[in-house]
Chains A and B, each alone.
Chain A
Amino acid sequence: MKKVKMYTLSTCLWCKRTKKFFEDRKIPFEAVDYDKVEEQERERIMAEMREKGGGGSFPYVCIGSDVVQGYEPDAFERLLGCEKK
């Protein structure tokens, strides 16, 4: 199983749906709410997102070495190799 890590915002509708997508499939993931961490960590997260070509739009989901920005169930399923639910 690929490792799943995501950066989210506590106020973001699509971040909530992204988390639910993984929870519903019982796929373990690590999530960090950008707006809930210290300034220094926020800067590190933003630098990481920008380095990979993304802007400051959430959710930002890393599945293995791939990155998906936005709520994209089809892309999540494809990268995880799981069936449509």
Chain B
Amino acid sequence: MNIEARKKALRFLFAPIVDKLGYKFNPEEEDVDFLLEQEAGLEQQCGIPYCPCQARTKDRAENMKIVCPCIPFHRAHFDAMKRCWCGLFVHKDVVDPSKLKQLPPGGFYKKD
């Protein structure tokens, strides 16, 4: 599989899905390129474009919750932070993603 072609395909596939969820691709193009490359690599390795910043375990049901775009499975958390965990997607109203945090003040977010 050609990684560059797959990155373009993933971008094409994800855009309309996240749009309906109120998100868009992160305006930081360099970050998006890196993250899509990792996802294309994971897809090549595992058959599924998992989130590159969350761990897979032996629990398939849990692993399904980190298939990109994983927004529906972590909705409360991501909506609060205005970004998904890896930062591939941000809320549509986000202009400067550099200010966004992964977790609220105080640390861990309650799992959905």
Which residues of A line the B interface, CB within 8 A? 9, 11-15, 34-35, 39, 42-43, 46, 53-58, 67-72
The 4 residue pairs across chains A and B that have the minimum distance between CB atoms:
A70-B102, A11-B52, A56-B55, A11-B38
A11 and B57 within 8 A (CB): no
B108 adjacent to A9 (CB under 8 Å): no
Write the residues of chain B forming the contact surface with A, with a CB cutoff of 8 angstroms: 31, 34-35, 38, 41-42, 52-58, 62, 66, 85-87, 101-103, 107-108, 111
Chain A CB within 10 Å — which of B35, B66, B101, B103 has the most? Answer: B103
CB within 8 Å for A69 and B103 given contacts A11-B38, A14-B86: yes
A55 to B53, CA, bound (A): 12
- The answer to whether B54 and A56 touch across the interface, beta carbons within 8 angstroms, is yes
Q: Provide the main secondary structure of the chain A interface.
A: mixed
Given A13-B86, A14-B102, also A69-B53 (CB < 8 A): no
Total number of residue pairs linking A and B with CB closer than 8 Å:
70
What are 25 A-B residue pairs whose CB atoms fall within 8 Å in the complex? A11-B41, A11-B42, A13-B31, A13-B87, A14-B102, A34-B55, A35-B56, A43-B58, A46-B55, A46-B57, A55-B54, A55-B108, A55-B111, A56-B54, A56-B55, A56-B56, A56-B57, A56-B62, A57-B53, A57-B54, A57-B85, A69-B103, A72-B101, A72-B102, A72-B103
A12 with B86: CB separation less than 8 A = yes
Q: Could you say which of A9, A57, A68 has the most chain B C-beta atoms within 10 Å of its C-beta? A: A57
